[in-house]
Amino acid sequence: MNLFYRSGRLLCRIITLQTLRVYSPGRRSIDREGGFVLAVTHLSHIEPALVSVLNHREIDWVARKEFYCNRFTTWLLGGLGCLSVDRQGFAISTIRTGISLLRAGRVVGIFPEGGLVTRTQAVIRGGPIKRGFCSLAIHAGVPIIPCVVLGADKLLCVKAWLPLRLSRLWVAYGEPIHPPAGLKSTRETRRQLADATTASFQQIYATLRERYDISDSDVP
């Protein structure tokens, strides 16, 4: 873990633990060795920072190429170990780099919805997801771990970060979804993995709503 990433995560973790009440069911899924694809829902722009802060493993995030708009953001994203990707489809170089990282035992974080989504477009409500992450998992032979983040959209104001621990955040994980052993990345195998991941997202969301009495209207 590079010094920039480690220092930034430590500072953010101190702030987070002093200001938020964090609920993280299913953590046993990520308390594992080896590489895996961390597939995260995308209801807020600050989810990558929050998920990174709350994980002990360094995460190599797949970031949209639009974020690499100037030298500063390019430097920042590079320091955080991000991989550039075109939302219209994975570049070959991104796929190869992602596979190499996963085979080396690292964690690659990705937002299968392809961008910020809300309401009926969200995968937790049956919205579509892209299948590039399935190719990564199949080629690298690593599992996919679904992650649903709720409450991040409420943290976009100063009041939410006051040190009273009143703001609530849920970062929940599903069981690992393993790609079919010995099979190639085809349209059918990618569809099967994507369907399994979608079902897991929706199950996690339903469980969170029931367990913590979260209203669907309170979720973007």
**190 has a pLDDT exceeding 70:** yes
Q: Tell me what pLDDT residue 86 has.
A: 59
- Is the Cβ–Cβ distance between 131 and 194 less than 8 Å? yes
- Is the Cβ–Cβ distance between 5 and 49 less than 8 Å? no
DSSP state of 157: S
- Is the Cβ–Cβ distance between 193 and 137 less than 8 Å? yes
Global confidence as pTM = 0.90
**30 has a pLDDT exceeding 80:** yes
Q: Tell me what pLDDT residue 163 has.
A: 82
* Mean pLDDT on 23-29: 96
Q: Tell me what pLDDT residue 49 has.
A: 85
Q: Output the average pLDDT for the chain.
A: 88
Integer Cα distance of 49 and 75 in angstroms: 16
Q: Tell me what pLDDT residue 214 has.
A: 97
Q: Tell me what pLDDT residue 48 has.
A: 87
Q: Is 167 left (phi over 0), alpha (psi -120 to 50) or beta?
A: beta
Coil, strand or helix: which one is 173?
A: strand
- Is the Cβ–Cβ distance between 135 and 189 less than 8 Å? no
* Mean pLDDT on 35-52: 93
The percent of residues in the chain predicted with pLDDT above 90, rounded, is 62
**176 has a pLDDT exceeding 60:** yes
Higher pLDDT, 210 or 160: 210
Q: Can you spell out the DSSP letters for 77-121?
A: HHHTT-EEEBTTB--HHHHHHHHHHHHTT-EEEE-TTSS---GGG
The percent of residues in the chain predicted with pLDDT above 70, rounded, is 87
| pLDDT tens track for 59-115 | 998 876 565 466 655 555 555 666 666 555 556 777 888 999 999 999 999 999 988
Integer Cα distance of 208 and 181 in angstroms: 31
